[in-house]
A = this chain, B = another copy of it.
Amino acid sequence: MAPSVAVENLNPKVLKCEYAVRGEIVIHAQRLQQQLQTQPGSLPFDEILYCNIGNPQSLGQKPVTFFREVLALCDHPSLLEKEETKSLFSADAISRAKEILAAIPGRATGAYSHSQGIKGLRDAIAAGIASRDGFPANADDIFVTDGASPGVHMMMQLLLRDEKDGILCPIPQYPLYSASIALHGGTLVPYYLDEKTGWGLEISDLKKQLEDARSKGIDVRALVVINPGNPTGQVLAEDNQCDIVRFCKNEGLVLLADEVYQENIYVDDKKFNSFKKIARSIGYGEDDLPLVSFQSVSKGYYGECGKRGGYMEITGFSAPVREQVYKIASVNLCSNITGQILASLVMNPPKVGDESYAAYKAEKDGILQSLARRAKIHLPQKAIEAAKAANKAPDAFYALRLLESTGIVVVPGSGFGQVPGTWHIRCTILPQEEKIPAVITRFKAFHEAFMAEYRD
């Protein structure tokens, strides 16, 4: 009898998901990975290390103290009855933990919550959104999730019926979207960020890609916009956002706004505007545009990837459609309470006057400044010239050399947008913890050799 479970009889969507990771460096990395399998020993390393997703705490970034104080008190509330606690925890962490516990029925941080998340925490998140945007937000619109990814999967599961349903996605993009679209059996309709408009979304290109897809019989359901685009600073201009909002309304598209990098802006003259704020600013209400905003505790200065917290704010969906979203959420019962608490904290951090404020502000600024510094590489002029000769952007040249020498996959900043004359790589660590020391060692050795080779 044939084996009951073999690659040949698995869900083909799962198998297909493998081919959904895009971008020049990643595709080159996959080629090298194949080479390693067919010709072991043919490269100066024996495995590929994908460092293209962000994991700051694994690289030594410390969590924000206030957040962790509150989590510890909520995990073990009997600490609140002890005298020693006052000397171990800040006063506002103690009062915040008490507020949160009071918002949870039975103070039960170990109970399943409402499938959208604990109501009191959603109230806090909605208040944080309203204060950020200057427009009202409603706790009933908030679905607290285990990070942004499950929210994205839920929307793909909701919208995609078969391969004739498409989602407009930016290229290059974080592989979450391509993977999720593949897993749910839809079609990724790519659009390209335009360097000439400061890596804005050129509406004419969006329109072209949309019409192209429609001419092939694809029913395009939604547009994914990632804004800010990544930690190196691509922030859409307000005008561009207005055009995107109008485009979605006119074309009948759901706007899926990935806004997880809302705190990662390193340029003084740029400002984050949520798509909901933009839509409301131009007078669009609930009936004009189905809009989902994703936020995560993993990004920004919080960097709490392992806590798996986040939310999606859903507006402009009819009640029956929203019920279907609720049903999908309820099949997984609820997101983890620790992540729910963190999501409420990142949207309502300490304020001026709170005991923790000074320490919180110092930690936040330190992390953001350090991220901004680390986002840049100072490349010698010779390396820039060598890159030019190879017809590559200098950071792409660096990234390709890094990959070929070490197997480490990073994303060049030129694929994301950067201030002219500065070069960036997005270098992060995938969750294969036992490999982290090797990454650091190999990366350091490569960088030293590269800088020596191209010393001015």
Contact = CB atoms under 8 A, between A and B. Distances in A.
A337 B106 contact: no
Contact of A71 (B75, B84, B339): B75
Interface string A25-65: 00000000000000000000000000001011111100101
A273 interface: no
Interface residues of A, number: 102
A348 interface: no
A147 interface: yes
A183 B328 CA distance: 9
Count of identical protomers in the assembly: 2
Interface string A322-357: 001001101111111111000000000000000000
A340 to B, nearest CB: 8
A328 B303 CA distance: 23
A245 to B, nearest CB: 13
A91 B320 CA distance: 53
Nearest to A342: B110
Given A75-B68, A84-B88, A119-B434, A14 B146 contact: no
19 contacts: A3-B290, A4-B252, A4-B253, A6-B320, A7-B320, A9-B161, A9-B219, A14-B157, A58-B108, A82-B88, A113-B306, A115-B431, A146-B146, A146-B332, A150-B332, A176-B331, A305-B333, A308-B336, A330-B431
Contacts of A55: 111-112
A330 to B, nearest CB: 8
Nearest to A150: B332
Interface of A: 1-7, 9-12, 14-15, 17-18, 53, 55-60, 63, 65, 68-69, 71-73, 75-76, 78-79, 82, 84-85, 87-88, 104-106, 108-115, 118-119, 146-147, 149-150, 153, 157-161, 176, 179-180, 183-184, 219, 221, 252-254, 290, 298, 303-308, 317-318, 320-321, 324, 327-328, 330-339, 430-434, 436
